[in-house]
Structure 1
Amino acid sequence: MTGTDDNRVRYPEMRGKIALVTGGSSGIGLATVAAFAREGATVILASRDADRAEAALKEIGLAGQVSWIACDVADGGDVERLCATIAERHGRLDYAFNNGGSGGRWAPVADTAEADWRRTIDGYLTSAFLCMHHQIPLMLAGGGGVIVNNASVDGLRGYPFPGGAAYSAAKHGVLGLTKSAALEHAASGLRITAVCPGWVDTPPVARYFRDDPVKAAAILQQTPRGRIAAAEEIANGVLWLCSSAASFVIGSPLVMDGGYMA
């Protein structure tokens, strides 16, 4: 599924800046890594799997401009090491897209095991807290920056099908965390905000659509645009939020859903 004919946007102020994208090996994360790199930024791709990261770097094909650092964003020690490594190598951090996340088995609330609930909350919400906890001091030391958290339209409403309650709860939490942290730093030169995508053509969503064509049809019927988003379209929104064009966007999320929530 495609977006615009040319998904690239140009923000000259990003040239030479340092950008971090967690969960950057595929989907929205990979599209955002590529978008930052096209703008001339030096990009750190953080993810858990070395093989997938190596494949992603080959796909982008911008040797020297994009590097990989291993990190499980639900592990506080890993996130601390990630930010310490960025500080050591680059001396600052200008942009961070907290996109990485994972969870436990999906099930209705009454059937969800406590361990799966905790894995989902840790994977999508605690991870955002850990990233900001270590990114904020690094950005403030450099005079400011922009943090964009990947929330979801499911952080704005209940999950539309049985089984997504823990995920929806985590994404609601991401938005509350984002808004509160944004207010804490609104006058400091550090901007914090979020993007709320609807359904996006990523590998997991593509598999989901193949496995359940009835739900896929229902989702498309509920999306006025008539299709789901391309990952590059969400990346465009992330870059806009990071750019000087969005200098007055603080805390409020950017909803990108093809009219799904309208």
Structure 2
Amino acid sequence: MPYPEMEGKVALVTGGSSGIGLATVTAFAREGATVILASRSESRAKTALKTIKGAERENVSWIACDVSKGKDVAKLCAAIAKKHGRLDYAFNNGGSGGYVGPVATGDETGWRKTMDGYLTSAFLCLRYQIPLMLEQGHGVIVNNASVDGLRGYPFPGGAAYSAAKHGVIGLTRSAALENAKAGLRIGAICPGWVDTPAIARYLKDPKLKAEILRQTPRGKIASADEIAASVLWLCSDGASYMIGSPLIIDGGYMA
């Protein structure tokens, strides 16, 4: 195992039913960690669990949670504390948004839904994960930001998403500074384009696909497994000096 220190530890992955989340759930389970997959849909979670084969499947359980709702996140962390008595790693990957459109004509309801789904959700997860980890004096939290948290969204209509992800990076850095001396490591990943169900619909449009590939100097977008590998590294002892700084994983997108 690349990370033997993860065996027997407890890891939480929100938005774990597909894409980067599911790849990270599988990666943690492969390292021998006990993994909680948190998501909104039980049916999607059951489908996701079926993709995890062998002994790793026994390490994974599902808990319902809408991370944009404080009560849900509080119940999730309370359930983890009651059953496992600890939380060693958390990957805050879950997120959702609404249609906003260009800034000059943007929809306020969609804006607020996007802020709640991508930024408030990260705050709520940190709000309830940090106290749990402080009790044990250690823990690692990784938030899923984006390269769009470092620059403007490359297509019209994505300003709300970009703004939320900029907020996630600021939130991550601030929380990291507040808790570094207490033994917690809090960081973020900034992926570029990744082959996930959400991006698959873009790739069906030849013009959009060509533009996405043009933005990726490597010539192909990332697999979910590649991003999961970066999450695990940030959680590992090998990244012990990574605190607050976002890790850019983009195939050259921001270079």
**Do they fold alike, i.e. is TM over 0.5?**
yes
- Give 1:136's match in structure 2, choosing from 125, 130, 134: 130
Tell me the SS of whatever aligns to 1:146: strand
Instruction: Specify the code of the residue in structure 2 equivalent to 1:136.
Output: I
1:43-192 matches, within 5 Å, as: 43-61=35-53, 62-192=56-186
Contact 2:29–2:57, Cα closer than 8 Å, also in 1: no
TM-score by length of 2: 0.98
Give the letter for the 2:198 counterpart. P
**Which deviates more, 56-65 or 10-19?**
56-65
**Which residue does 1:17 correspond to in 2?**
9
Letter in 2 for 1:12: P
Q: Secondary structure at the match of 2:37?
A: strand
Matched, 1:228 2:221: yes
Distance across 2 between alignment mates of 1:159 and 1:202:
18
Task: Indicate which of 243, 251, 254 corresponds to 1:258.
Answer: 251
Over the aligned positions, Cα root-mean-square deviation in angstroms equals 0.8
Deviates more, 1:189-198 or 1:219-228: 219-228
Counterpart residue identity of residue 128, structure 1: A
Q: Deviations over 1:8-58 (max 9, x none)?
A: x71000000000000000000000000000000000000000000001111
Tell which has more relative contact order, 1 or 2 (C-alpha 8 A, sep 6+). Answer: 1
SS at the partner of 2:86? coil
TM-score normalised by the chain length of structure 1: 0.95
Within-5 A mapping of 1:192-211: 192-210=186-204
Partner SS, residue 178 of structure 1:
helix
**How far apart are the structure 2 equivalents of 1:51 and 1:95?**
25
Distance in 2 (alpha carbons) for counterparts of 1:203 and 1:140: 35
Determine the structure 2 residue equivalent to 1:248. 241
How far apart are residue 63 of structure 1 and its match? Answer: 3.5
SS of structure 2 residue aligned to 1:64: helix
Corresponding residue SS for 1:60: coil
Q: Is the 8 A contact 2:100 2:108 kept in 1?
A: no
Q: Distance in 2 between matches of 1:222 and 1:15?
A: 38
Q: What letter corresponds to residue 109 of structure 1 in structure 2?
A: V
Q: Which runs of 5+ in 1 are unaligned?
A: 1-8
Q: How far apart, CA to CA, are the structure 1 residues paired with 2:215 and 2:74?
A: 41
Aligned residues: 253
SS for the counterpart of 1:227 is coil
**Match for 2:208 among 200, 207, 215?**
215
Q: Percent identity?
A: 74
State the secondary structure of the residue aligned to 2:51: helix
Structure 2, unaligned stretches of length 5 or more?
none
Q: CA deviation at 1:111?
A: 2.3
Amino acid at match of 2:207: V
Query: 1:222 Cα deviation (Å)?
Result: 2.1
